[in-house]
Amino acid sequence: MTERLSLRERKKIETARSIWRVALELFVEHGFDNVSVAQIAAASNVSKMTVFNYFGTKEDLVLGPMEEHLGELAAVVRERERGESVVAAVRRHFRAALADFDPASGLNDQTGVLDVQRLVRQTPALAQRAHDFHNRAQELLAAELVTEAGDSDPTTARVVAALLVAARRALVAENHRRLLAGESADQVLPDAITAADNAFELLERGLGDYGTRA
């Protein structure tokens, strides 16, 4: 895909990546609250305005990649296969993310990914932003389910969304906890798969074939 991009587009991507890496290094070394956007710009050899052109807020410099997954669960449900329930679709997607060591599954031990998780845990503003992200993801999933349910049972649709997001969030948090404690992603993977299967089996017992696509 990168090969199909124009030279200008490739340069923009590289500039954004460079600013993100510099910002993360500064945050890790000095703390999120102790680093200004002006300092990040100077260390990146760009203007402060350039930083804001790529990242709307200081928090975006840490959690911008996370925002790219905002509508992911809603899309998984919307695009589920024939004969597949809502729970089964989310379970399939999460298991695939674990197998790929996708950061969105919480099971990725690359240094930069773990640095972001430490910063979120140490910084109230980032923790709140992450919390808001999960709430917005839940709202998008609920909206998708409500659209499908129509006027028949919107409350149940919202409950299902809350259960799915809560289960996924708990699984991700446990993966983060173990990686930050020093275990490798390879070590955690078998337990992470088992935990995911157990969690989604519990949901399936309660939700059954809810939303199974005809």
Q: For position 36, which CATH number holds?
A: 1.10.10.60
Instruction: Identify the CATH number of the domain in which residue 191 sits.
Output: 1.10.357
- For the entire predicted model, the pTM comes to 0.86
Same domain, 35 and 122: no
Structural domain range at position 169: 64-207
Judge contact between 85 and 208, C-beta under 8 A: yes
Same domain, 194 and 104: yes
Same domain, 148 and 165: yes
Domain boundary pick from 58, 76, 94: 58
Domain boundary pick from 12, 38, 58: 58
Which residues 6+ apart lie within 8 Å of 66 measured at CB? Answer: 104, 130, 133
In a domain, 214, yes or no: no
Please check the confidence at residue 143 and state whether its pLDDT lies above 70: yes
Q: Smallest Cα–Cα separation from 131: which of 61, 63, 36?
A: 63
The total of structural domains in the chain comes to 2
- Longest Cα–Cα distance of the chain, Å, equals 57
Tokens 């939303």 sit on residue: 211
Band of residue 2 on the pLDDT scale cut at 50, 70, 90: very low
Same domain, 75 and 9: no
Same domain, 94 and 161: yes
Which residues 6+ apart lie within 8 Å of 194 measured at CB? Answer: none
Judge contact between 212 and 83, C-beta under 8 A: yes
Same domain, 26 and 119: no
Same domain, 33 and 68: no
Same domain, 69 and 162: yes
Share of the chain above pLDDT 90, in %: 79
Band of residue 3 on the pLDDT scale cut at 50, 70, 90: low
pLDDT at 123: 96
pLDDT at 65: 78
Same domain, 42 and 128: no
Please check the confidence at residue 190 and state whether its pLDDT lies above 70: yes
Using the CB atoms, write b or e for 40-51: b if 16+ within 10 Å. bbeebebeeeeb
Same domain, 130 and 34: no
Same domain, 96 and 181: yes
How confident is the prediction for the chain on average, in pLDDT?
A: 92
In a domain, 213, yes or no: no
Same domain, 123 and 83: yes
Please check the confidence at residue 1 and state whether its pLDDT lies above 70: no
Which residues 6+ apart lie within 8 Å of 152 measured at CB? Answer: none
Q: What is the DSSP string of 163-213?
A: HHHHHHHHHHHHHHHHHHTT--HHHHHHHHHHHHHHHHHHHHHHHTTTT--
Judge contact between 106 and 181, C-beta under 8 A: no
